[in-house]
Amino acid sequence: MAIFFAGLVIFLGVHSISIVNVTWRNNMSDKIGDGAWRGLYSLVAIIGFILLIWGYAMARHDSLIIYNPPALLQHLSFILLLPVFPLLIATYFPGRIKAAVKHPMLLAIKIWASAHLLANGELINVILFGSFLCWAVIDRISLKNRPQRAIPGAPPSPLNDTLGTILQRNSVDYSPAQKRAEQYHIDELSIGQQMS
């Protein structure tokens, strides 16, 4: 679990620099250059992400079960995940969605994390998705007290919302909740066939 925690701390830590000290972040960017800062930032984030995935893969098989979500919550989590992809697209392809929600990526992360918390009761998942949910809430609150940097992307257009919706319909999010929901139906069918 140490590798998982190291990855989680590094990944969320580097994404929290502006939350904790935006002045230091801006000074470092000015000092070493914006391109070098972005490169260093990306390198640290990638290292954290790799450690996070590696640690999660090792720790999830032995994780304690804190709660067993009912099948209804697993189905609900699948429905909650539907707007996540269009919200992520709206971050870089602004349109009416971005104008309405202001910070679509943070909202997408909050929905994504909440949906997975509803469907996954293992300790490792509660830590992972709970951490992302807390980080997104804290980041959103901090944006009220600091200037938001421009996010590179396409020019604003109402057509961008259509793009996000089309891409979402063509994407496949095969989450653990969906796998479990399918397993639940398979088990239910096999029990029904045995009883008949």
Where in the chain are the domains? 1-62, 65-196
pLDDT in tens, 103-119: 999 999 999 999 999 99
Report residue 2 as tokens: 């140490």
Half-sphere exposure of 135 (CA within 13 A, CB side): 22
Contact, 196 vs 118, CB < 8 A?
A: no
Q: How many residues does the chain have?
A: 196
Enter the pTM of the model.
Answer: 0.79
Among the listed residues 75, 77, 139, the one whose alpha carbon sits nearest the alpha carbon of residue 114 = 77
Q: How confident is the model at residue 191 (pLDDT cuts 50, 70, 90)?
A: very low
d(CA 180, CA 192): 18
